[in-house]
Amino acid sequence: MVFFYLVQELILEKQAKLVSNSRLRLQVARKMYQMRFPNEDVSELTMQQLRGREGARIRKVYRLQAKKHDIPWTKRDYNPENFEDGTPVNQALSAANVALYGLVHSVIVALGISPGLGFVHTGHDLSFVYDVADLYKAETTIPIAFEIAANSTLEDDIGRITRLKVRDCFVDGKLISQIVKDLQYLLEVEESEELVIDMLASWDDKEKLVKYGVSYKEES
Mean pLDDT over 118-131 rounds to: 95
Res. 123: pLDDT tops 70: yes
Res. 185: pLDDT tops 80: yes
**The pLDDT value given to residue 19:** 96
- Is 217 contained in some domain? no
- Is 220 contained in some domain? no
- Is 177 contained in some domain? yes
**What confidence tens digit (pLDDT) does each residue in 128-167 have?**
999 999 999 999 999 999 999 999 888 889 999 999 999 9
Spell out the SS3 assignment of the chain.
CHHHHHHHHHHHHHHHHHHHCHHHHHHHHHHHHHHHCCCCCCCCCCHHHHHHHHHHHHHHHHHHHHHHHCCCCCCCCCCCCCHHHCCHHHHHHHHHHHHHHHHHHHHHHHCCCCCCCCCCCCCCCCHHHHHHHCCCCCCCHHHHHHHHHHCCCCCCCHHHHHHHHHHHHHCCCHHHHHHHHHHHHHCCCCHHHCCCHHHCEEECCCCCEEECCCCCCCCC
What CATH number has the domain bearing residue 29? Answer: 1.20.120.920
Res. 2: pLDDT tops 90: no
- Is 219 contained in some domain? no
- Is 203 contained in some domain? yes
**What confidence tens digit (pLDDT) does each residue in 192-219 have?**
555 544 455 443 334 343 344 444 344 4
Res. 61: pLDDT tops 90: yes
Query: Could you tell me the CA-to-CA distances from 136 to 3, 14, 132, 170, 181 in Å, in that order?
Result: 30, 23, 8, 12, 13
- Is 216 contained in some domain? no
Q: Is the sign of the CA dihedral 158, 145, 108, 175 positive or negative? A: positive
> What count of other Cβ atoms lies within 10 Å of the Cβ of residue 109?
14
Mean pLDDT over 82-100 rounds to: 89
Bridge partners of 139, per DSSP, are none
> What percent of the chain stands above pLDDT 90?
58
**The pLDDT value given to residue 134:** 96
What is the residue range of 103's domain? 2-211
Res. 24: pLDDT tops 90: yes
**The pLDDT value given to residue 174:** 87
| Cβ–Cβ < 8 Å for 99, 106 | no
**The pLDDT value given to residue 206:** 40
Number of compact structural domains in the chain: 1
- Is 188 contained in some domain? yes
- Is 14 contained in some domain? yes
Could you tell me the pLDDT band of residue 4, with boundaries at 50, 70 and 90?
low
Q: What is the pTM of this model?
A: 0.84
